[in-house]
A and B are shown apart, each in its own frame.
Chain A
Amino acid sequence: MIARLFNFHGGIKPDSHKNASAAPPIAAAPLPPRLTIPLRQSVRSVARCLVAPGQRVLKGERIGAGEGPLGTDVHASTSGTVVGLAPCAMAHASSLDTLAVVIEPDGKDEWIERRAFDHRAVPREAALRYLSACGIVGMGGAGFPTHIKLGNGRGIETLIINGAECEPWITCDDRLMRERAAEILSGAAILHELIGARRTLVGIEDNKPEAIRAMREAAAGFPGLVDIVAIPTRYPAGGEKQLIRVLTGIEIAHGKLGTEFGVQCFNVGTAQAVHRAIHHGEPLVSRVVTLTGNVRRPGNYEVLVGTPVETLLALAAPKPDTDRYLMGGPMMGITISDLSVPIGKTSNCIIAASAALFPPPPPELPCIRCGACARACPADLQPFELYWFSRAKNVGKAQEYHLFDCIECGSCAFVCPSHIPLVDYFRFSKSEIWARERELKASDQARERFEFRNYRQEREKEEKAAKLAAKAAETRAKLSGSATPTDAATGDDPKKALIAAALARARQQVAVEPRNTDTPHAGVPGASPGIASRREQPDLHDSDATS
């Protein structure tokens, strides 16, 4: 037993609303008529498609190969036929499209050949590769590939299994711990070995006594492996840095990773998925999802990755006054604008929202600098300062005040008496800063290329001049006075003149009229309206331009 728990600053205690959905056991969701499995499981990880329309796939068959350092493989969640590759909306605040493999299930749910993997028999790297090939990513939220988080197997003192589940309404981890404690701990044991930890702690908020009891009972089966620690219920105790702080007292420094402090943190779902992959040879193709909120039958379901949200919702029977659906918890989740969004590996909860349960925010008032947000902020930020600068679009200043230490937990917005959507301002500022960094990179590149070009032209001019001089000398030596060297130079003059004229025109247009009006200006050759009209044409090939 751990003698001492530590504290983190701030935090909030919203009503938990967990009882309703935590009561019934996890049920398997029925096979949907169609599965849409995005090749991109998170913003960072992309995969290359391995199947073609018409192809039959088995459950667990690889359909996408991870690309790049953060890629992990993607698998078919059930057996059936690939009917197409189509863009589908991502479960992301932007609702932008991403490419997905559409599978029509054949109803047999036929697995590929599953074989337990003896991770002790192979080198560590091979085990990590295996996990990657099983598509194991973090199921606690960020979807970060687990094999990368397992690192090089050295320097980790403490492995933490995150069973906090601090957001209200969500109960998938709770149910998972109650029902599959042994699997979780088995997964934890594997992670423990792979990462080379000295000890393993499981942190569970003390509002889940059953889960704690179940985990403790299961822990008896793994003597000496884990400590199950009940931590005080306070949002966001499940945040990685907060949990590490509570359990170990370590404060992960800004810009550093837990590993550099000898701690690594995995979600309980991740641990269970690792267990399934190693001991049962099953890639990650399903997860537990909480359906709750304004529904008649709240509960948890084992759902295949790729199941569209709309088909899932029928299970919970949303009440008629439901006006929108949230994916994730009410603190950090997103509103789903398109119900065809598929369940992904990190989709832990769907909440049916009604005006009564989730009233629209009252009008935003000015900040009165009351400091409530600062008291609630688990990152010890001064959210109102960040807000003040973000609102004025003074994002540089916001960054100076440590904008990037904000974990977007929403505690500040939760307590703000002025109902300011603080997190939205922070997200705005963050993406503004990223955009500026991209622009800066682009402009540095442009400057370099421009300067290089000038240098090159200069050099070419010099070379040409030298050549001409040599030629002239030669000519002069041959005959006397008939051909002048300038004649030779005129060869490329027309082009230069054209460019100069174009530059002049460009400048003139600017001086005379705004560029995209379409009245041709007297004296300016028809170029200007031409450009303008062409710019306005919708373009068929812009994917080339942007990829």
Chain B
Amino acid sequence: MIHSPYIRKPASVQSVMLAVLLALLPGVTAYVMQVAAVVVVNLLIATVTALVAEALILTLRKRPIAPALSDLSAVVTAWLVVLCFPPILPWWVTVLGVLIAIVAVKHLYGGLGQNPFNPAMVAYCAMIVAFPSLMSQWPPAGQIDFQTQLDLVLGGARQLDAITGATALDAMRTGLRTSGASVDSVLQQSGTFGAVGGRGWEWLALGYLAGGLFMLARRIITWHMPVAFIATLAVVSGIFWLAEPARFAPPLFHLASGGAMLAAFFIVTDPVSGATTPRGKLIFAAGVAVIAYLIRVFGAFPEGIAFAVLLMNLCVPLIDMKTQPAVFGHRGSRP
């Protein structure tokens, strides 16, 4: 028998995920125009892989397929995998990454809503650890033509040194660490940098920001995570920068580079694997920002957001447990 309530808001998981995909579009457009158009091909490959993998597993588990496929959550995951990976990866790396995200992270834990880790970020971490060199080959923004990009993706011979360049974060790190240069000299010497971050990549950051604001307006996400993430990243990098401007890059550089904006609005906000209470969300996002900064600046990996997200995912049960909001009639007490 059906019990009350008998009426429901016309909301669905599908509409939520669709909104996320829509919100990604400005960023994707900037990607295509400014960096590498081949990302569209990657998105296609990833989407198909995600859907096929999901369908296969559900068949194996003898679960209904249609609702799971149509909820679009796998597509969101697939897109985020692609947007975190370098665009000129051979296609099989993308496929493997999506498979890890969907099969090993999402469905081993029972599918949508049950995975304690962010699937896209696990995919990134797994792949950068497994294929550190492939995963650090980024094309310089807008300098190779589409045909070359496509050849690289579909498996032509890879003349890597010739094509790839360092990302802004990478260039900054190598510059600061191995050649002992100062931030200013690094910023000036290389064509990698634009006004505030990596050249061309700044536009992506702007695109993601726009999409994020759209999601905020649509109430898909709440303000806590993006605000806490951006503020913390700015404050932490600001402190280091003020202390030693020659050794540490300015906050704006950190915010506009790498995946900071994508992370602020689309990744730390993953509802499934993130903290859920308002205070918990603040702690979670701030934690991601701090760890990501430390890894970027002192650690072994050029971009630390993925690991930071994963590390904070580990803490989510504890954070949620300790930040339960006071229930009506219980102000000042927690479970």
Are A and B close enough to touch in the complex, i.e. CB under 8 Å? yes
Cβ contact within 8 Å between B271 and A382:
no
Mask of B323-335 contacts with A, CB within 8 angstroms, 1/0? 0111111110001
Contact of A361 among B2, B276, B327, B330 (CB under 8 A): B2
Cβ contact within 8 Å between A381 and B327:
yes
* Chain A, range 358-375, C-beta contacts under 8 Å to B: 358, 360-363, 365-372, 374
Q: List 15 A-B contacts (CB under 8 A).
A: A93-B3, A168-B7, A252-B329, A330-B4, A360-B2, A361-B8, A368-B113, A371-B276, A374-B277, A379-B327, A380-B327, A381-B328, A402-B335, A414-B7, A423-B4
Cβ contact within 8 Å between B271 and A241:
no
Cβ contact within 8 Å between B5 and A331:
yes
**Among B12-20, B174-182, B185-193, B230-238, which stretch is in contact with chain A?**
B12-20
Cβ contact within 8 Å between B276 and A335:
no
Assembly CA distance A415 to B11 (angstroms): 7
| A residues less than 8 Å from B320 (CB atoms) | 385
Assembly CA distance A255 to B324 (angstroms): 19
CB of A9 to closest CB in B, whole Å: 7
Contact of A372 among B11, B328, B329 (CB under 8 A): B11
> Known interface pairs A414-B5, A414-B7. Does A384 touch B276 (Cβ–Cβ under 8 Å)?
yes
Give A residues with C-beta under 8 Å from B. Answer: 8-9, 12, 14, 93, 168, 241, 251-256, 326, 328, 330-335, 337, 353, 358, 360-363, 365-372, 374, 378-382, 384-385, 400-402, 405, 410, 413-419, 421, 423-424, 427
CB of B21 to closest CB in A, whole Å: 15
Q: Does B71 contact A (CB under 8 A)?
A: yes
Cβ contact within 8 Å between A423 and B5:
yes
Assembly CA distance A255 to B330 (angstroms): 10
The number of residue pairs between A and B whose CB atoms lie closer than 8 Å in the complex comes to 141
Which residue among A378, A413, A424 has the maximum number of chain B CB atoms within 10 Å of its CB?
Answer: A413
| A residues less than 8 Å from B7 (CB atoms) | 14, 168, 330-331, 358, 414
Closest to A332 in B: B4
CB of B216 to closest CB in A, whole Å: 14
Assembly CA distance A390 to B328 (angstroms): 20
* Sample of 14 further A-B pairs with CB below 8 A, known A374-B276, A418-B12: A8-B328, A241-B329, A253-B330, A358-B6, A361-B2, A365-B67, A365-B112, A368-B13, A368-B272, A369-B113, A381-B328, A382-B324, A400-B335, A427-B3
Q: Does B313 contact A (CB under 8 A)?
A: no
Assembly CA distance A93 to B2 (angstroms): 11
Assembly CA distance A382 to B327 (angstroms): 9
| A residues less than 8 Å from B8 (CB atoms) | 361, 413-416, 419
Cβ contact within 8 Å between A402 and B16:
no
Q: Does B114 contact A (CB under 8 A)?
A: yes
Closest to A334 in B: B4
| A residues less than 8 Å from B110 (CB atoms) | 366
Closest to B325 in A: A380
Q: Does B29 contact A (CB under 8 A)?
A: no
Cβ contact within 8 Å between B111 and A251:
no
Cβ contact within 8 Å between A256 and B329:
yes
| B residues less than 8 Å from A385 (CB atoms) | 276, 320, 324
> Known interface pairs A253-B330, A363-B67, A365-B13. Does A330 touch B271 (Cβ–Cβ under 8 Å)?
no
CB of B222 to closest CB in A, whole Å: 7
Assembly CA distance A252 to B331 (angstroms): 10
| B residues less than 8 Å from A353 (CB atoms) | 6
Cβ contact within 8 Å between B6 and A326:
yes
Mask of B306-332 contacts with A, CB within 8 angstroms, 1/0? 000000000000001000111111110
Contact of B5 among A241, A330, A381 (CB under 8 A): A330
Q: Does B62 contact A (CB under 8 A)?
A: no
Cβ contact within 8 Å between B111 and A366:
yes
Contact of A370 among B1, B16, B324, B335 (CB under 8 A): B16
| B residues less than 8 Å from A330 (CB atoms) | 4-7
Contact of B73 among A14, A368, A416 (CB under 8 A): A368
* Chain B, range 297-312, C-beta contacts under 8 Å to A: none
> Known interface pairs A368-B13, A419-B12. Does A254 touch B329 (Cβ–Cβ under 8 Å)?
yes
Cβ contact within 8 Å between A402 and B1:
no
| A residues less than 8 Å from B327 (CB atoms) | 254, 379-381, 402, 405
| B residues less than 8 Å from A410 (CB atoms) | 4-5
Cβ contact within 8 Å between B3 and A254:
no
| A residues less than 8 Å from B335 (CB atoms) | 400-402
> Known interface pairs A337-B1, A382-B324. Does A365 touch B271 (Cβ–Cβ under 8 Å)?
no
CB of A372 to closest CB in B, whole Å: 7
Cβ contact within 8 Å between B328 and A241:
yes
Closest to B320 in A: A385
CB of B108 to closest CB in A, whole Å: 14
Cβ contact within 8 Å between B4 and A418:
no
CB of A421 to closest CB in B, whole Å: 7
| B residues less than 8 Å from A379 (CB atoms) | 327-329
| A residues less than 8 Å from B5 (CB atoms) | 330-332, 410, 413-414, 423
| B residues less than 8 Å from A415 (CB atoms) | 8-9, 11
Closest to A405 in B: B327
Assembly CA distance A365 to B274 (angstroms): 19
CB of A405 to closest CB in B, whole Å: 5
Assembly CA distance A14 to B2 (angstroms): 19
Cβ contact within 8 Å between B328 and A414:
no
Assembly CA distance A179 to B274 (angstroms): 53
> Known interface pairs A93-B3, A326-B6, A337-B1. Does A417 touch B11 (Cβ–Cβ under 8 Å)?
yes
Mask of B193-224 contacts with A, CB within 8 angstroms, 1/0? 00000000000000000000000000000100
Closest to B110 in A: A366
CB of B325 to closest CB in A, whole Å: 6
CB of B76 to closest CB in A, whole Å: 11
Contact of B112 among A252, A368, A414 (CB under 8 A): A368
Cβ contact within 8 Å between A333 and B6:
yes
> Known interface pairs A335-B1, A358-B6, A361-B2. Does A382 touch B325 (Cβ–Cβ under 8 Å)?
yes
